């Protein structure tokens, strides 16, 4: 499926408070987890794995609509901050910053919550964690959603290089120079990077509800040290521990009929690339959110939910 339209849903003026909050022990510390809805309800819970590395759950608060009974069939929504991000503990130990540990962290949350099976939706870097989880723990999955995912660093960099050519020539020149041994002033690099992000990372300003959530946040936000250590300083050159990451062989281990790839029309995880990955998972579905870039919920929350809600319902196994 591609380019799906969706009916308008009720937007939050302010996001609902969590039904439950807790700190879950994981290797290296404790992570903040919030739940909206009933984990034992008739529909399987869904957990959202945020991007970064170093991001927070704040960008996925619109997904709480999936737990709202006023908006149709509803399910529990689990959001969390990865270790060293957001409201979670910050030991700032690079030994914790591995794909394997972040994947184990997700399983520790499932175990702590006593959830036999759940849907896992990973976005961007969170898609890497979700991919690894789906390959390693298929018995825990009801469905797997890979949203604008980082499947391999090689393909991510290739996409970024292609998208850079769609910017004005002067911006392209600056971006290339910024990754050279003799970069221009930081202000020039920031402006050029901002031009790239406005096209392919986030096209819309934060909603009033998102701004209110950020202002009321207790605890830290984005962790730039974690991001730089694992990825680097540029979208176009990976210098961190993920520079050689390749999850493409894991695609063959996924349950195709239980997997959805979803990206934005203007996503920096390019639709052509994501569709090619989906075709390597027999039976997987593929969707493009019209008008969205990389931040699906930030750009087109209603349309994104309009794809996720029916897909999750179709992949809910019968619960006793």
Q: How confident is the model at residue 219 (pLDDT cuts 50, 70, 90)?
A: low
Higher pLDDT among residues 262 and 320, named by residue? 262
CB atoms within 10 A of CB 239: 14
The CA distance from 293 to 270, in Å, is 9
Give, in words, the CATH class of 20-156+205-314.
Answer: alpha beta
Average pLDDT over residues 224-233: 97
Average pLDDT over residues 70-89: 94
**Strand ranges inside 67-182, DSSP E:** 77-80, 118-123, 141-147
Element of type H or E holding 130? helix 125-136
The CA distance from 278 to 283, in Å, is 8
Q: Do 35 and 96 form a contact (C-beta atoms < 8 A)?
A: no
Q: Do 146 and 120 form a contact (C-beta atoms < 8 A)?
A: no
pLDDT of residue 2: 42
Average pLDDT over residues 286-295: 99
Average pLDDT over residues 176-192: 97
**Lowest-confidence pick of 32-41, 54-63, 114-123, 204-213:** 204-213
Integer angstrom CA distances of residue 45 from 63, 118, 192 = 12, 5, 40
Question: Does residue 7 register a pLDDT over 50?
Answer: no
**Lowest-confidence pick of 6-10, 237-241, 268-272:** 6-10
Average pLDDT over residues 92-99: 98
**pLDDT more than 70, % of the chain:** 94
Integer angstrom CA distances of residue 96 from 166, 179, 226, 320 = 37, 28, 10, 38
Average pLDDT over residues 194-199: 98
Angle between helices 186-200 and 169-178 (to 10 degrees): 120
pLDDT in tens, 62-74: 999 999 988 878 9
Q: Do 307 and 6 form a contact (C-beta atoms < 8 A)?
A: yes
pLDDT of residue 3: 40
| Number of residues assigned to the chain | 320
Q: How confident is the model at residue 319 (pLDDT cuts 50, 70, 90)?
A: low
Domain residue ranges in the chain: 20-156+205-314
Question: Does residue 13 register a pLDDT over 90?
Answer: no
């Amino acid at each position: 499926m591609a380019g799906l339209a969706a009916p308008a849903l009720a937007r939050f003026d302010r996001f609902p408070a969590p039904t439950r909050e807790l700190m879950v022990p994981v290797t290296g510390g404790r992570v903040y987890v919030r739940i909206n809805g009933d984990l034992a309800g008739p529909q399987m819970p869904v957990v959202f794995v945020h991007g970064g590395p170093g991001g927070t759950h704040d960008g996925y608060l619109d997904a709480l609509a999936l737990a709202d009974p006023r908006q149709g069939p509803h399910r529990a929504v689990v959001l969390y901050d990865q270790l060293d991000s957001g409201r979670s503990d910050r030991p700032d130990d690079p030994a914790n910053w591995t794909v394997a540990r972040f994947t184990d962290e997700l399983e520790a949350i499932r175990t702590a919550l006593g959830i036999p099976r759940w849907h896992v939706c990973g976005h961007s870097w969170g898609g890497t964690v979700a991919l690894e989880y789906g390959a390693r723990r298929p018995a825990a999955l009801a469905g797997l959603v890979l949203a604008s995912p980082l499947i391999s660093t090689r393909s991510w960099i290739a996409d970024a290089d292609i998208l850079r050519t769609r910017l004005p020539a002067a911006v392209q020149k600056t971006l290339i120079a910024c990754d050279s041994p003799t970069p221009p002033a930081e202000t020039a690099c920031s402006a050029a990077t901002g031009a790239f992000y406005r096209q392919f990372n986030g096209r819309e300003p934060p909603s009033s509800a998102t701004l209110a959530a950020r202002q009321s946040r207790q605890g830290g936000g984005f962790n730039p040290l974690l991001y730089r250590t694992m990825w680097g300083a540029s979208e176009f050159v990976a210098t961190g521990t993920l520079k050689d990451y390749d999850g493409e062989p894991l695609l063959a281990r996924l349950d195709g009929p239980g997997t959805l790839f979803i990206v934005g029309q203007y996503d920096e995880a390019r639709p052509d690339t994501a569709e090619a990955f989906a075709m390597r998972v027999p039976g997987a579905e593929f969707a493009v959110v019209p008008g969205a870039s990389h931040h699906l919920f930030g750009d087109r929350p209603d349309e994104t939910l309009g794809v996720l809600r029916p897909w999750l319902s179709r992949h809910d196994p019968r619960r006793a």
